[in-house]
Structures are given as structure tokens and as C-alpha cells.
Amino acid sequence: MLRKLIYGLYQRRLEAAVRNGRLPQHVGVILDGNRRFARKRGLANVGLGHRAGADKGDELLAWCDELGIPHVTLWVLSTDNFQRDQAELETIFATIEEKIAAIGEAQMRAKRRRVRAVGRLEMLPESTREAIHRVEAETAENAPFELIVAVGYGGREEITDAVKRLIADRLRRGESLEGIASKLEPDEIGQYMYAPDVPDPDLIIRTSGELRLSGFLLWQSAYSEYYFCDVYWPEFRRIDFLRAIRSYNRRQRRHGA
């Protein structure tokens, strides 16, 4: 009882400090540790870990809504993950379909967050793509917040796709390859990313204790602040989220070396 009281007091003080500080406008989250969570808990299969992780996404969105964080990007499936066992992939795809439909329904009622997906969506099963496109259409007019779901996503792949689209676009305009190469600038490449209208992430959070980005928003994260948390994603608590925001508050951001 005493421990619970102390925990509650600490969380309230932490939230007050966070609200009085500078808040990020875009938070990206690498949802890592679902499988290890399942094994740690002795669950029947790792698919149950993915389902627990999907439910945690609802909580995270609620926390971001409470603080008024307008842009949230969740990395739910990487291109590398397609190498996993087919049974696990089928569970992941089914979980994505169920969860994105539920999120879409909630956002249609709230009319707060536009939902869209980024990545190589053509790698996904048709049913998953249809579920995503349906929610994107249903929430297209929502404002002012946004949820970006990175699925079938890889940072290197995004940059590769951006350069391909840029070259194809310029060739259609009649430019030569030599001319394109001679005038190419980073800002131009940025305009061909999957979601060029979304501001770069101010803060990137990764759970499960891994100290790397694994290519998440590789282009956009050049000046992001990072926060690494030891807990597995399904165990991520509101207090962990507030600690990440407080860490961001305390940093002096610099754009440069």
C-alpha cells in the first residue's frame, strides 16, 4: 500500500515537471521486446507477446493525447522481420489488421488523429493492405493530430525508394542522369520520403534495452534525441513514458556537430 502511494506521488510530480517543460512535437517509438516478453512470461507462443504489445499501443496514444503531442510514429514491423517464421508472421499480420481497425474506429469517433502507414506496403498480405487503406481513408480528415504506422518499414529502403522516385520524376521532366546527379541536394531527397510533410522526430524511444535505432527513420532522425528503456514493450508504463519526455525536456538540442 505504501509503495503504491509513493509510486503515485512520484508519477504526479513527474507529470507536473513534464507539463512545465518543452514537449516534443513528434515522438517515434521502436516497439521492441514482444517476443522476449512472451518467453519471460511463459506464454504459449510469441504471438501472444505481439498481441500484448498491440494493446500497449492504445495506452501510448492516450498518453500522447494527454500531453498534446501531435505526431506519433510507431514502428510495428520492419523489412527484416519478414525473415521470421511464417506462423509468427501470420499472427503479426492478423494483429495489425485487428489493431489498426480498432484504432481507426476510435479515431473516427474522436476525430483527433489521422492514421496512415509508411513502408513497403506491397510486401504485406492483401488483407492487411486493405485494412490499412480503409483506416487511412476513414481518418483522412481528422485533425490536428496524426498517427504514423511504420509497417514493412526499413530506413535504408525508404532512402532507396526516395532516390528512385526522385530520379524517375526528374527523368519524366526531361532531365538527364548527369544533370540530376550534379544538382542533387539533401532537401530534395527529403521531399521524396514516405511522409515528407511530417516534421522530423524530436524524440525516439526504444524499449527492451537495445541501444540502437536499427534503421528507424534513418533519414529523419539526424537531429533527434534518443531514449533507451530497459523494459520490454508490453511492460512499458506511463511512468517510463514520462521519464522519456522528462529526459527530452532536460536536453539542450543542437543541430550540428
Q: Which pLDDT tens digit goes with each residue over 45-59?
A: 999 999 999 999 999
> Is residue 173 assigned to a domain?
no
What is the structure's pLDDT at 256? Answer: 59
Q: Is 81 a catalytic residue?
A: yes
Find the catalytic residue in 20, 45, 81, 200: 81
Q: In whole angstroms, how far apart are CA 248 and each of 17, 73, 213, 240?
A: 12, 17, 17, 13
Tens digits of residue pLDDT in 209-222: 999 999 999 999 99
* Overall residue count recorded for the chain in this entry: 257
In the chain (257 residues long), the average pLDDT of successive 10-residue segments reads 84 93 97 97 96 96 96 98 96 97 93 96 98 97 95 98 97 96 94 97 97 96 97 97 96 70
> Is residue 116 assigned to a domain?
yes
Residue range(s) defining the domain that contains residue 206: 25-154+200-246
What is the structure's pLDDT at 8? Answer: 85
Beta-carbon neighbour count of residue 112 at 10 Å? 18
Q: In whole angstroms, how far apart are CA 26 and each of 178, 195, 212?
A: 37, 13, 19
What is the domain count for the chain? 1
What is the structure's pLDDT at 257? Answer: 59
Q: Is 142 a catalytic residue?
A: no
> Is residue 171 assigned to a domain?
no
What CATH code is carried by the domain that includes residue 108? 3.40.1180.10
> Is residue 232 assigned to a domain?
yes
Which of these, 95, 149, 144, lies nearest to 117 by C-alpha position? 149
> Is residue 131 assigned to a domain?
yes
> Is residue 7 assigned to a domain?
no
> Is residue 257 assigned to a domain?
no
> Is residue 79 assigned to a domain?
yes
